[in-house]
Amino acid sequence: MGAISAAGANLAETLDTFQRGQVNKKPVFEHRMSTLNLALCAVDEALNDAELKKDIEHFRVGVCLGTTVASQLNDVEFYRSYRSTGEAPMDSVDRFLKGNLSQAVANTIGAKGPRVTVVNACSSGADAIGVALSWLRNGECDIAIAGGADELNRIPICGFRALGIVSESLCAPFDRGRKGLNLGEGAGILVLERETCARKRGNASGNAPRLYLAGYGASADAYHLTAPRPDGTGLEAAIQRALSESHISSQDVCFVNAHGTATHDNDKVEGMVLSRVFGKDIKVLSTKGFTGHTLGGAGGLEAVFTGAALLEGWIPASAGFVNQDDEIPITPVREKTSIHGSFALSTSLAFGGNNAAIVIGRGA
């Protein structure tokens, strides 16, 4: 696993930030980084963690990454020129047509398997992990590098401001006084591989994998361009499908790493659905209080955090949550909390009514 965000330049730094409950820390990057560079940082950490970096050429390695900004939203100069003069150089269009994030990462590390970039708004990273899981199950590759990455950029900042859902203060997911989201940037990457491949290459001394991706579910609300379906049935369908794929029940899930954007509608609907599926006492947190909302990177980052929590046996306090909202039946954890169990869920909701859920299991 590999992660880079406002919470830390790697997974170890991030866990230290979580443990100390530190938010609004100074930027972890010396310079602004492009989506590709953020992705490459996390990929490098993940490959080292998987002991794969030197052997990648010997396996069929696919790359499936989610993003939003890097798809086409980061070319401010093109938009500025076209808006002011009615014309602009076509270099940007050429770059867009010939390149994509997964292609660039695969070329850099020498991966020779399938390559797909998923652009599905804020569920892009989670959906990319789901696509990679299908590749492995269908024998398309032996190993898949999956997750998401996004950089901060003026265009989504303006877009979210226009919607009136950006908070001027630190975001407070699920809190009664929440005022909207904070945008962030970063990347979260998983190295997924078929169990037979992991054992064959002697990973982790040939022992059972530390973690495994148990199931993935997705659904579409078919309700509104930007608002979640008020009754939450779309999100619930994605969660139930992920549980079914994992061959577990809701009672087997020891905590949920929620999408938790700190917007009024998302948190209200998500809290209602989580209570309906898991009961109001389920342990829940949102890590966006530490990282901000990293858009296409969020699903990847939060999958990494979910897996790391299963290995560590604890989850941090849900940063920003103080006061219970009477409209939200679940209560996020207010302090570092021990967890005991083998399965955890990470959810992602997105514009367009996309919902995605991932179940991660801890190895024996």
3-state secondary structure of 66: strand
Selected catalytic residue, list 41, 64, 122, 254 = 122
Contacts of 362 (CB under 8 A, 6+ apart): 210, 211, 310, 311, 342, 343
99: number of Cβ within 10 Å = 14
The verdict on whether 64 is a catalytic residue reads no
Is 247 marked active-site?
no
Contact 45, 3 (CB under 8 A): yes
Decide: 360 and 147 in contact? Cβ < 8 Å.
no
Residues in contact with 47: Cβ distance below 8 Å, sequence separation at least 6, in sequence order: 2, 53, 56, 109, 145, 191
Cα→Cα distances 328→101, 283, 300, Å: 37, 14, 26
In eight-state DSSP terms, residue 73 is I
Number of H helices, E strands in the chain: 12, 12
What kind and span of H or E run contains 200?
Answer: helix 195-200
* Residues sharing a CB contact under 8 Å with residue 200, sequence separation 6 or more, in sequence order: none
Report the Cα 116 to chain-centroid distance in Å.
16
What three-state secondary structure class fits 259? coil
What is the C-alpha to C-alpha distance for residues 292 and 195, in angstroms, rounded to an integer? 34
User: What is residue 57's DSSP assignment?
Assistant: G
> HSE-up of 108 (CA within 13 Å, CB side)?
17
- The b-or-e profile of 65-86 (16+ CB within 10 A means b, else e) is bbbbbbbebbbeebeeeeeeee
> 41, 141, 254, 293: which is the annotated catalytic residue?
293
Catalytic residues: 122, 259, 293
